[in-house]
């Protein structure tokens, strides 16, 4: 074990050193953010009841769908900016940033107008299975969707930072959002006995304010101020290039909607809104492993883009060795989380939420598979060889909801059925992704393996 740790963290080239520095900062900010996240759950349950919190979680899951309406522009911009910077073309990078910001803003403006009109005809009481007054839900959904649209646009600044391998900016911003959100909820408990509407609006507005401040600071005073989006740098010719890569990412992300964002809705409809809270408490606990693993992985996406352009295959192979060894460590850590789960849940939320052991085991298995897939996905995404991933995603997207429904209805697994269905779907990528990476690295990829 000691040799394993030494291998993971031994000195390396400048690129590797930068990754280690940013990984440390990511761990710091993500760790602080995780603590705030855990405290937010208990503080929220002290202000609103379990069913209302389940409604909030389900509502935010629905709004997360909007994150995929960028038709992959964010990931397309990330790769294009990384490639432009790798070639030393700062003007081209600025044009990609400006084009993405302006095109995405126009797209979201059009979508929000459609939602604002259609919102008056939606029965949110039926969708969310709640008795909260319809007038309140109308205001809440309007504010939440508007704030989320603004948040999507403003969050592009973190994508720019990641493209420049300044990955800790994303963690820093998310930590501040989590911390100020926690402070905001705590303040509500002191100034107001109970208001679900005020709770939702507070949580919706805080991220927008923080992101506005960061966009101003980073594009005005930071080292990548030269990338500040401007109308004059908009180049419609780049839209096609961004969309060529972005559309494929979009369909892959669409599967993310089906697998990850429909869970709360399925649980609400097949079980209850209260069951959503149980699921999310357990998921938040076991997502410690996926969060830690994502911290380690995050710098590698753009690093893979840069090194692949420079044909530095030796660095890529060494990176894979480190990531696979780190995956082994997270498997051991996940097993420890399973053994400690009952004690932690009791300490964290007491008797308010009872998490079945079967749900803990199924979530642990899901997280292990999820982390395995991400090792190879980050390389494949970074070099834009995503055609096979696209086809696989379509198959998985079609199969996920029916499989979840069948397991939930025809087994006694309860909420665990939804998690197991997700894990089964993820197993598809666990097979083909390592094979594609091996073929590309060893220059044996052809046909769909190289697209």
| Of residues 352, 371, 385, 372, the one with CA closest to residue 451 | 385
Task: Say what the pLDDT of residue 42 is.
Answer: 84
Between CA 436 and CA 325 the distance in angstroms is 19
What whole-number distance in Å separates Cα of residue 56 and Cα of residue 130?
Answer: 11
- Tokens standing for residue 193: 């006995």
Show Cβ contacts of residue 222 under 8 Å, excluding neighbours closer than 6 positions: none
pLDDT, tens digit (0-9, with 9 covering 90-100), for 199-242:
989 999 999 999 999 899 888 888 878 888 988 888 888 877 77
Residue 127: pLDDT above 90?
Answer: no
Find, among 85, 98, 100, the residue nearest to 229 by Cα.
98
CA distances from 34 to 37, 159, 178 (A): 5, 21, 8
| Closest residue by Cα to residue 175 from 38, 34, 21, 39 | 34
Note the pLDDT tens digit of each residue in 94-107. 998 999 999 889 98
Q: Is the pLDDT of residue 1 over 60?
A: no
Q: Considering only residues 315 and 301, tell me which one the structure prediction assigns the higher pLDDT.
A: 315
Plot region of 447 (φ>0 → left; ψ -120 to 50 → alpha; else → beta): left
Sorting pLDDT into bands at 50, 70 and 90, what band is 438? very high
Q: Which of 79-83, 181-185, 352-356 has the highest mean pLDDT?
A: 181-185
Report the alpha-carbon distance of residue 437 to residue 444 in Å, rounded: 10
Domain extents in the chain: 2-450
Compute the distance between CA of residue 49 and CA of residue 67 in angstroms, rounded to an integer. Answer: 28
Per-residue pLDDT reduced to its tens digit, 146-189: 998 898 899 888 888 877 777 778 888 889 999 999 999 999 88
Q: How far apart are CA 324 and CA 371, in angstroms?
A: 10
Q: Specify the pLDDT at position 385.
A: 87
Q: Provide long-range contacts, Cβ within 8 A and 24+ apart, for 2-6.
A: 4/325, 4/328, 4/329
Contacts of 342 (CB under 8 A, 6+ apart): 355, 357
Name, of 37-41, 248-252, 284-288, 336-340, the range with top average pLDDT: 336-340
Query: Cβ–Cβ contacts within 10 Å for residue 423, how many?
Result: 20
Output the pLDDT for position 4.
44
Percentage of the chain exceeding pLDDT 70: 91
């Amino acid at each position: 074990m000691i040799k394993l740790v030494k291998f993971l963290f031994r000195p390396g080239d400048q690129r590797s050193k930068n990754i280690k520095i940013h990984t440390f900062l990511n761990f710091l900010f993500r760790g602080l953010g995780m603590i705030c996240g855990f405290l937010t759950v208990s503080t929220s349950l002290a202000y609103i009841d379990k069913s209302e919190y389940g409604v909030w979680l389900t509502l935010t899951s629905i709004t997360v769908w909007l994150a995929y309406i960028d038709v992959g522009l964010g990931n397309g911009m990330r790769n294009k900016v990384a490639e432009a910077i790798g070639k030393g073309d700062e003007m081209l990078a600025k044009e990609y940033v400006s084009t993405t910001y302006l095109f995405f803003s126009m797209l979201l403006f059009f979508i929000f107008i459609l939602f604002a009109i259609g919102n008056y005809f939606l029965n949110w009481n039926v969708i969310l299975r709640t008795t909260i007054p319809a007038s309140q839900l109308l205001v809440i959904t309007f504010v939440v969707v508007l704030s989320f649209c603004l948040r999507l646009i403003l969050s592009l600044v973190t994508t720019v930072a990641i493209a420049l391998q300044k990955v800790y900016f994303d963690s820093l911003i998310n930590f501040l959002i989590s911390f100020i959100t926690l402070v905001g909820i705590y303040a509500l408990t002191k100034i107001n006995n109970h208001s679900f509407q005020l709770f939702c609006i507070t949580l919706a507005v805080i991220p927008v304010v923080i992101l506005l401040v960061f966009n101003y600071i980073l594009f005005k005073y930071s080292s990548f101020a030269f990338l500040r989006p401007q109308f004059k740098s908009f180049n419609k010719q780049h839209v096609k290039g961004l969309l060529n890569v972005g559309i494929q990412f979009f369909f892959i992300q669409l599967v993310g909607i089906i697998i990850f964002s429909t869970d709360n809705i399925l649980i609400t409809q097949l079980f209850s809104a209260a069951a959503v809270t149980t699921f999310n408490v357990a998921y938040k606990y076991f997502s410690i492993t996926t969060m830690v693993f994502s911290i380690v992985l995050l710098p590698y996406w753009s690093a893979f883009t840069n090194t692949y352009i420079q044909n530095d295959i030796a660095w890529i192979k060494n990176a894979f060795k480190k990531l696979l060894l780190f995956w082994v460590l997270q498997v051991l850590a996940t097993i420890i989380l399973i053994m400690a789960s009952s004690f932690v849940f009791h300490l964290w939320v007491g008797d308010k939420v009872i998490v079945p052991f079967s749900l803990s085991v199924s979530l642990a298995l899901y997280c292990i598979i999820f982390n395995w897939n991400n090792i190879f996905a980050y390389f494949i995404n970074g070099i834009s060889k995503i055609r096979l991933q696209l086809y696989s995603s379509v198959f998985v997207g079609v199969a996920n909801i029916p499989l979840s429904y069948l397991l939930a209805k025809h087994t006694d697994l309860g909420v665990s059925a939804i998690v197991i269905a997700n894990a089964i779907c993820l197993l598809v990528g666990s097979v083909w992704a390592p094979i594609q990476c091996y073929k590309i690295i060893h220059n044996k990829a052809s046909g769909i393996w190289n697209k």
